[in-house]
Chain A
């Protein structure tokens, strides 16, 4: 019920006075003095002091309050629509390809951070090389251009397109040639794009130009068998391998795959089957492959041809002229014995040669045909497409350019202004080309001379495919949105060709769906999932060699004679830098050369005795002057095993426009390359004169002999066959422990490392760097012996003498013959000792033992006394001397927010003053355990893989749980070859090493 009560407010209302009645009508009880204020006088009054103070007080207060922002606000924006596949904290893996190899790209929250081999991609797709591991860093390289460039100014794609189209049309109309200079293109889709481009511009042609070329082999096969291809080599089928200067475990064609094939015949599984291949290497410089050879014979470059002739003669009984090795008795002896062995192992032998000379390769073909390699160890019918460059063709192009016949030139993944043998001539020729377009991602040596730089995507941003071998196709798919305003080169070409489909993704997909997939009954998503498809291989045919070798022998003899001067120089690719394309990659720059352990520089490698005769010492700077007049000043590195009278310089250094990390590192050796008989030759003659300067190379290892210590245990294959624990006999002594055993109720993580499988390539080092956010410290810090690598490869030389191997520094100093050096590589990382000396000495318990056998490091607790590192017998602990990852003095790559995106979010970066070391990829162990837990199942052997293990092409690292007697590592650790480094000091290391076995005790003995 509504109340009828009337409430009155104040007596005025109650009494209803006339005043009240009058005022009640108005809104305000008193009339507002609006008129007074707004009249002229009111507006011109002076503000009273009190009002001023009020306004001031209010204003000040308000401003103060407004300024009181509590903290900087970091907006974390959740997904409005969360992508189905992205879960923060959970990595996604995508298949892709790197240099033709099928890989998996690990991405976290949309950032690619790690490369792994694709396990579905064939028997020998094991591990990746150092370049592949390091390649994620290239994506985050700040030295790249952020937008396309036209006439040295950043521009838009529309402007680039109209410029290029105009120029191409002009060239086409003017009857000028259009040339696309690319390093080998083996992508079917790219080839299809190029075909469309050529249809639009008939004047266009692809010129394949590889900085380091294999034209010699391709043309020799054309000559010998009518097949201009690079064959597929099957090192796994070879019981006997002879290599003449081919670094097939490292840089030659496809070292990563060859390593997998090669070690399959030499690793512990093979040895347990009483089988081991034999490898003889003839070479002048000490290559990674040479260090792994059972018998290695140093030969001069000029002796390589005669050696092959001698071998041919010895095998076939013919008498080709020029096969005398008068001055190299050892080589002569080994050739004769090797010939016998080759004949014995007919059909199971392989001879390879690193030369790019057609004649030499024809002779190698003849030898291989004679020992029945075709159809077994060499497959010409399923060839390799990794290298198809044609040296003469590019040389011809330079001539055409010089003559002004070329209207437009496009550079795709090629940089001749740096890596062509005569860059000056090339640059001069380039000036005669009206339109120069580069697809480089940065203004490199060639791109900076171009009119337009149509910046290409990084491969991790790209679509594409690769066809490394006949019938073997792999996909390239993007793992991140393009970071900069780049556009894929193929897409640019399609746009310029006015192709019907301009989007490259659609193009690649159509190409696969129309050309390849229907025949195999597969779908596009199958390809993306598997990453690779294989068409059944054709049967490898046996080829016989029928041609006359007379001309070949003459050619070989004359080039050998030309080389036979005082100093023969070999320029070669080394493992970290290769052809120099990735020179701005700090991980690679700091990866020590597997043989010399030098980082951040190239150098002149000289044999110890030869250096003495030249009156130079290690690190003396010398001028190396080529027969073509080119000269460089480089420091000397004394390289045991280098052939007398020869010098070696690595290619890939001395870049001037690659970026902060790679500019002016070392000197360019490409100008020493010469063009002889239609191919690039990497051997030449030089003079060496000391400059009197001194330049200390940054080496990660400076003592090279193992002093006869049981750190390395070796035996020969013959001894091993008699007694599997040869070289690994343990005296019976009692152990006494001061400490209690740790209980390991669940897992006990351990490793076994097969010294026979490890080739020393170093891809594990880079893999570990990437996985564990290990800082790159730069040349000066490496010189101070402060590199941070958690895993390193120790490389020891010992010298073969009639009285056995000499391994001690003081005895080596007395040796006369330093040519016959044998090498062992030993990966060394934290041994996760069960009685870890580091753990007892840490005052603050920053390093402790876990219940699953790990020696753990609590960075946050570390105060940095470094006592643990001092007390580590293996010297695997690394100290953060500075704040490497965020200190401008060490800005090799990481001191910017963009590049820091490469960091693995599962691993903390370590600050200055903190100790670190191998954690046994504890983040991977945790992830594996968690996955098993979510799937409600026990951990399986192989669920968890270490970064180093995954990258190892040789399968030399076996990781697992020793509490599981059936795990691979438990089995491996039961091998008679297992020994623990420094087990005599009873620190109980968790990593077992397997004796190095050398297959030397045969009829052939160097």
Chain B
């Protein structure tokens, strides 16, 4: 792929000069091969405490029963399924980045796909914990699997969206894990080659005997493409099926045909926000500015504007349809969302998900790391509220007014959720320590064509159109990792 030059108009995907293959390896493996710094330890301890809280809260729930949560006869799901959908949604960006963008040859994905995929896997783990822990009898969770059994003719109900869910989530998890691990093989081999002693032995086992031969690479590329092909429909199907948990029900506010696309858009929206939350910090702390550039950040922000706007349109469409349907229950459900006892959660959702991403239309905000980071968190707060609004405010006042009730979380509800965030970050921080957070091999692919120094070489060769060069140089202004003075003289 490196035989020809890339258009000068394209912004560089790797910045910095004197970037060599060796330097890429050194830069990316630095956190893996060196002792962790103080920032990592602080983050890890806080996250591990969070994970511990999760263990305590979930054990408490298992020991005492679901009654430890604030649920009641009317609101049978609240923070549990809110958390579940939230985590599944977050996972979606990883798959989109690794699979869809690969198929579309979006090379900028190469720098972020590894972390995004790791995030997917950890988010799906967090989501899966809710699947089990929200059950009244979690020790029987395996009953939702269509396992041959000796209980007679007992089988699962293929009409139930929860069974679809089980298939969707397990497929999603296994395919994501496979895809992620396949991508990791050459990088693990790199670590193996540089490691000594026990480390070498461990990495050598996990590298599955990667040799780096042409045949290996060829097969690697083929498998990646096939897995991308398998993963791509999952980006759409998983959250579609999650949305069917609600859409196939009869509850006003849930029974909505718009849910599948709306949920998928919301999932990508929240997923990219989470990628930003993680990578903006990782980029700085791990010194990866040259690989995760402003271009990446801006691209992700653009996706957030797009998906955020889709979500906004979906919110408005729901309202319109509620009015247009003429169904009094549906109408009440939506009026109740915006003006009922939980109005604040609705407006929280609207502000965070619809209004705040629109700020990203401003280039200044889009290119501000601080603003982006804050907005990425705001978006995920909003997305949590979106699920809370859908689940709790629809349930708490449905058809029969006598059963209308309020939901108040207990400390256990809160701890399970906060704890799941702790669990997620614990896993992510461990990941940063043992595996390369950027796909080394894939980034190396870009060095000869799409890096700043390659472009610089192209300019210096002088065959490029001057106007284009000027445009290119202008585009570099936003990069915080580009030495602008190098271009001043050109």
Contacts and interface: CB of A to CB of B under 8 A. Distances in A.
B490 interface: no
Contacts of A912: 65, 67, 136-137
Contacts of A449: none
A881 B66 contact: yes
A864 B137 contact: yes
Interface stretch (B19-27, B153-161, B257-265): B153-161
B41 interface: no
Nearest to A795: B402
B154 A845 contact: yes
Contacts of A787: 73
B402 A867 contact: no
B404 interface: yes
Interface string A869-880: 111011101111
A985 B250 contact: yes
Contacts of A471: none
B63 to A, nearest CB: 11
Contacts of B70: 784
A861 B143 contact: yes
B156 A871 contact: no
Given A843-B156, A843-B166, A845-B156, A869 B250 contact: no
B143 A863 contact: yes
A796 B72 CA distance: 21
A785 B135 contact: no
Contacts of B66: 864, 866, 879, 881, 913
Contact of A786 (B72, B161, B402): B72
B401 A703 contact: yes
B401 A862 contact: no
A840 B159 contact: yes
Given A843-B163, A881-B67, A863 B403 contact: no
A707 B74 CA distance: 18
Nearest to A864: B136
Given A703-B402, A786-B72, A870 B249 contact: yes
A707 B331 CA distance: 12
Interface in B111-170: 134-138, 140-141, 143-144, 154-157, 159-163, 166
A844 B159 CA distance: 10
Given A842-B157, A873-B398, A982-B399, A866 B144 contact: no
A841 B401 contact: no
Contacts of B328: 708-709
B443 interface: no
A735 interface: no
Chain B residues touching A, majority SS: loop
B103 interface: no
A875 B287 CA distance: 55
Interface string A850-894: 000000000001111111011101110111111100000000000
Nearest to A710: B328
Contact of A796 (B140, B329, B401): B401
B96 interface: no
B249 A841 contact: yes
Nearest to B245: A867
A785 B143 contact: no
A323 B488 CA distance: 105
A968 B159 CA distance: 36
A389 to B, nearest CB: 38
A875 B73 contact: yes
B405 A785 contact: yes
A784 B75 CA distance: 11
B356 interface: no
B73 A878 contact: yes
Contacts of A781: 67
B398 A875 contact: yes
Contacts of B399: 709, 711, 873-875, 982, 985
A828 B157 CA distance: 28
A915 B401 contact: no
A14 B60 CA distance: 87
Given A709-B401, A844-B143, A863-B137, A871 B71 contact: no
Interface string B385-398: 00000000001011
Contact of A702 (B141, B155, B166, B404): B404
A882 B76 contact: no
B250 A842 contact: no
Interface in A297-350: none
Contacts of A707: 332, 401
Interface string A677-704: 0000000000000000000000001110
Interface in A907-924: 911-915
Contacts of B74: 785, 875
Contacts of A911: 137
B401 A706 contact: yes
Contacts of B166: 843
Nearest to A783: B72
A706 to B, nearest CB: 5
A821 to B, nearest CB: 16
A705 interface: yes
A987 interface: yes
A796 B402 CA distance: 8
Given A863-B143, A879-B73, A828 B162 contact: no
Contact of B137 (A826, A870, A874, A914): A914
A815 to B, nearest CB: 17
A705 B402 CA distance: 8
B248 interface: yes
A705 B332 CA distance: 14
A794 interface: yes
Given A785-B74, A786-B73, A840-B159, A866 B402 contact: no
Contact of A873 (B76, B144, B157, B400): B400
Nearest to B141: A863
Contact of B136 (A794, A796, A862): A862
Given A703-B404, A843-B144, A882 B67 contact: yes
Interface in A47-67: none
B64 interface: yes
A702 B341 CA distance: 13
B160 A841 contact: yes
A188 interface: no
B137 A862 contact: yes
Given A703-B404, A843-B160, A785 B144 contact: no
A870 B400 contact: no
B359 interface: no
A434 interface: no
Contacts of A795: 402
Nearest to B407: A785
Nearest to B328: A709
A828 B402 contact: yes
Nearest to B76: A866
Interface in B60-98: 64-67, 70-74, 76-77
A866 B72 CA distance: 10
B251 interface: yes
Contacts of A404: none
Contact of B250 (A843, A866, A871): A871
A869 B136 CA distance: 13
Contacts of A883: 65
Contacts of A840: 157, 159-160, 248
Interface of A: 701-703, 705-709, 711, 781, 784-787, 792, 794-796, 826, 828, 837, 840-845, 861-867, 869-871, 873-875, 877-883, 911-915, 981-982, 985, 987
Which 6 pairs, one residue from A and one from B, show the smallest C-beta to C-beta distance? A864-B136, A913-B136, A881-B67, A866-B76, A794-B402, A875-B403
Given A707-B332, A864-B136, A869-B73, 7 more contacts: A703-B401, A711-B399, A863-B141, A865-B162, A867-B245, A912-B67, A913-B66
22 contacts: A702-B405, A706-B401, A709-B329, A709-B399, A794-B400, A826-B402, A842-B160, A843-B156, A843-B160, A861-B143, A866-B136, A867-B76, A870-B76, A870-B395, A873-B251, A875-B73, A879-B66, A880-B65, A912-B136, A913-B136, A913-B138, A985-B250
